[in-house]
Amino acid sequence: MAGIFATAPGKVILFGEHAVVYGHPAIAVPVSQVRAKALIMPIPENKPDEVYIEAPDIHLNSHLNQLPFKNPLRIVIEEVQNALRLSYLPPMKIRITSTIPVAAGLGSGAAVSVALARALSNFLGHPLPDETLCAIAFRAEHSYHGTPSGIDNTVITYNQPIFFQKEKPYQLLNVEKPFRILIGNTGIASPTGEVVAEVRRNREQNPEKYNSIFENISRIVYQAREFIEKGNVNELGPLLTENHKLLQEMGVSCHELDRLVETAIHTGALGAKLSGGGKGGNMIALATPERIPEITQALRDAGATLVIATEIR
């Protein structure tokens, strides 16, 4: 039997990160230029439950049973097995690869989980519905970053722009007019869980300040949704920049992110902000097609380790 594989895209949050953890809405879109892939090969000569996992990007090469119980890959595999009510797994080798930078706000963890759950359930002959894949990836997200809102696994599973609010059904966004964004990576790895925990501590110290920031972000998200659905895409620019200022006030930006945001705006972007957990990782900028080459170059000159242009549609 030949190998079976599945892939899942990366993602960026356009508006609303951090506030989304506290029940406010956010908007996220898939980024198909970067992807995680899970390839599964049978090893018929081996015994049941002999499952090997290799993930060269993170130097992992292990038997499933040797991974810690809290390892997200192990969680995904066991969740798929439970969902399919299988008492054992056929012997197999799982290979995980990804072009999504890790700890960069591009959803690498959730993309690996979705690709793995999808490939494994297909390999086992019972493709699981998206709803179940999304729930499985959410469980693994807890292991990656403590108290996830669920936005990453949702946008990545459904692979479409979404309006997301915790514990509510997600809504697909109707993008009236496609628009382009540039994604610039600072190259600084910043584990989301740590930044989310820091925001939580700061909010406990100063609830009024943080709640008011979250309310302002919420207002931006609703406005952005209207612009996206009406095709007023250029008007998203100032909203991005306003959202970035609120993230700065929240204390989750850093010098390198601010530098890339300022560079993009000075080079003609309509607006820019950090995206994801912050304190490193990525920023995004809204740009008209003709400005993209110049802004891309300026971002590289300002230290971006990777610049991706993507169209939101």
What Å distances lie between residue 90 and 19, 46, 48, 124, 128, CA to CA? 43, 9, 5, 8, 17
Q: Taking the complex as a whole, how short is the minimal distance between the CB of residue 107 and ligand PMV, in angstroms?
A: 6
Residue 300 CB, nearest approach to ligand PMV (Å): 22
Q: How many residues bind ligand PMV (CB under 6 A)?
A: 16
Nearest to 185 by CA among 32, 269, 296: 296
Q: Which positions from 175 to 194 touch ligand PMV by CB under 6 A, shown as an x/- string?
A: -----------------x--
266: enclosing H helix or E strand = helix 255-266
By CB under 6 A, the residues from 21 to 80 that bind ligand PMV are 21
3-state secondary structure of 26: strand
The pairing of strands 26-42 and 92-98 is: antiparallel
As given in the structure block, the two tokens for residue 178 are 């496609």
Select the span of 57-65, 144-152, 173-181, 202-210 touching ligand PMV (CB under 6 A).
144-152
Q: How far is the CB of 189 from ligand PMV (least distance, A)?
A: 11
**Which residue's CB is nearer to ligand PMV, number 148 or number 161?**
148
Binding mask 195-224 toward ligand PMV (x if CB under 6 A, else -) reads -x----------------------------
Q: What is the dihedral of CA 166, 168, 170, 176, to 10 degrees?
A: -100
Among 6, 8, 14, 20, binds ligand PMV (CB under 6 A): 20
- Active-site choice (49, 130, 152, 301): 152
DSSP 84: T
CB 182 within 8 A of CB 264: yes
Choosing from 79, 152, 242, 256, the residue that interacts with ligand PMV (CB under 6 A) is: 152
- The H or E element that residue 62 is part of is strand 60-63
For residue 75, CA distances in Å to 34, 139, 177, 183 come to 23, 8, 39, 30
User: Residue from 55, 151, 264, 274 that binds ligand PMV (CB under 6 A)?
Assistant: 151
Q: Which residue's Cβ lies closest to ligand PMV?
A: 276
Stretch that binds ligand PMV, among 36-44, 73-81, 129-137, 275-283 (CB under 6 A): 275-283
Task: Supply the Cα-derived Rg of the chain in whole angstroms.
Answer: 20
CB neighbourhood size of 182 (10 A)? 24
Amino acid at the residue 122 = N
Q: Let me know if 152 is a catalytic residue.
A: yes
105 belongs to the binding site for ligand PMV (CB under 6 A): yes
Catalytic residues: 152
What are the residues binding ligand PMV (CB under 6 A)?
13, 17-18, 20-21, 105, 107, 148-149, 151-152, 192, 196, 276-277, 281
